[in-house]
Amino acid sequence: MNLDEKCFYIPDTTDNIAYITEQLFNQQTQSWQLAAANYAGLKKALTREFEIDGIRFIIQFNPERISSSSAKTDAKSISERKCFLCIENIPNEQQGIPVFNDFFILVNPFPIFDKHLTITKLQHINQSIADNAETMLNLAAALTDYVIFYNGPKCGASAPDHLHFQAGNKGFLPVENEFAEMKNRLQTYKYKSVEISFASDYLRRMITLQSNNKNDLLEIFRKTYGIFAELQPHETEPMLNIICCADKDEWTVHIFPRAKHRPSQFFAEGDAQLLISPASVDLGGVFITPRYCDFEKITKHDIIDIFNQVTIGKNEFDKIICEIGSQI
Ligand SMILES: [Zn+2]
């Protein structure tokens, strides 16, 4: 496969990545039938809203996400399928923009957001954040109209064998506004230019890093990652989801430490089943239900229970806070 054939445009260092991405989005949603149909369908997507203790949740009925939510991500299933993120396997109509030497910006044809991108590594290597946090920050700085998100290999990534990020337009995930509103009530630490905030009572637990200095931010990210890795020594990567964005002044990185991949409801049978496989978007406040029956029956109690199962408990979270405090 010749990469050039799959390139919508090859930017040079003076090009504005955000502008070219906008052009790519317009071209793909007009000329690629699958993308055009699914983005048109999303405009009619049914939603419900809940408020739990002042925290907002949107439930989105999105049948096109069924393969992502129910993806088999065990080693055997992965080895038996063609990787859908490898460039030689993407649909003929799909084109992308090569950035940062070895990443490729694509339009996600199964959207949750009005604008939804997948940013893949050009090489087929495992999903891992440890060596790629800088790329995440660079993407956020290049695409300031988007939030960038990362799903760990056991935390919602449907291709744990192929490194990728996703991006969705800002203004959709409740966490964006809610963090701004609750920030001054949270426990915080300061290290160099980085402000570290800990949300303990947000139904899910969240660590937020904010800074205008990339090196300082990466330093704290690595410390946080290392502390969490020690709490989950049996995992190749500590279980987490990340939502990251930038404006012209600073980056904001929300880290959601996880305890479990899927809740018990996912594996239940009959009426008790809820086909919900939480990933970054769900932790950001938008639950995706690919089946109408789940969309209709999910309750506030289910949301609270699912978060209790899949995110880390208060004791472990307090250990992380304490340990970060002792290392800075
Ligand atoms: Zn691949």
Domains of the chain, CATH where assigned: 3-327 (3.30.428.70)
| CA pair distance 27, 316, nearest whole angstrom | 47
How far, in Å, from the CA of 164 to the mean position of ligand 1?
10
How far, in Å, from the CA of 122 to the mean position of ligand 1?
8
DSSP type of residue 206: E
Residues 6+ apart with CB under 8 A from 233: none
Cα separations in angstroms, 21 against 5, 82, 98, 143, 215: 17, 27, 11, 8, 26
pLDDT, greater one: 81 or 128: 128
| Mean predicted confidence (pLDDT) in 225-230 | 96
How far, in Å, from the CA of 88 to the mean position of ligand 1?
9
How far, in Å, from the CA of 296 to the mean position of ligand 1?
35
pLDDT at 292 > cutoff 80: yes
| Mean predicted confidence (pLDDT) in 11-37 | 96
How far, in Å, from the CA of 85 to the mean position of ligand 1?
5
Residues 6+ apart with CB under 8 A from 208: 179, 183, 186, 196, 197, 198, 199, 252, 253, 254, 255
Q: What is the pLDDT of residues 236-291, one digit of tens each?
A: 999 999 999 999 889 999 999 999 999 999 999 999 999 999 999 999 999 999 99
How far, in Å, from the CA of 134 to the mean position of ligand 1?
21
* Residue 75, pLDDT score: 82
* Residue 31, pLDDT score: 97
How far, in Å, from the CA of 90 to the mean position of ligand 1?
10
How far, in Å, from the CA of 229 to the mean position of ligand 1?
26
How far, in Å, from the CA of 242 to the mean position of ligand 1?
21
Beta bridge mates, 204: 202
Residues 6+ apart with CB under 8 A from 207: 196, 197, 198, 199, 224, 254, 255, 257, 320
| CA pair distance 168, 184, nearest whole angstrom | 26
Q: What is the pLDDT of residues 108-165, one digit of tens each?
A: 999 999 999 999 999 999 999 999 999 999 999 999 999 999 999 999 888 999 999 9
pLDDT at 209 > cutoff 80: yes
Do residues 240 and 228 make contact, with C-beta atoms less than 8 angstroms apart? yes
Q: Band of the pLDDT at 79, cuts 50, 70, 90?
A: confident
Q: What's the whole-model pTM score? A: 0.97
How far, in Å, from the CA of 91 to the mean position of ligand 1?
14
What is the overall mean pLDDT for the chain? 95
How far, in Å, from the CA of 94 to the mean position of ligand 1?
15
* Crossing angle of the two packed helices 214-231 and 133-142, in degrees rounded to 10: 140
Q: Band of the pLDDT at 1, cuts 50, 70, 90?
A: low
How far, in Å, from the CA of 84 to the mean position of ligand 1?
6
Cα separations in angstroms, 100 against 33, 198, 243, 269, 325: 29, 32, 20, 45, 34
How far, in Å, from the CA of 172 to the mean position of ligand 1?
29
Q: Band of the pLDDT at 67, cuts 50, 70, 90?
A: confident
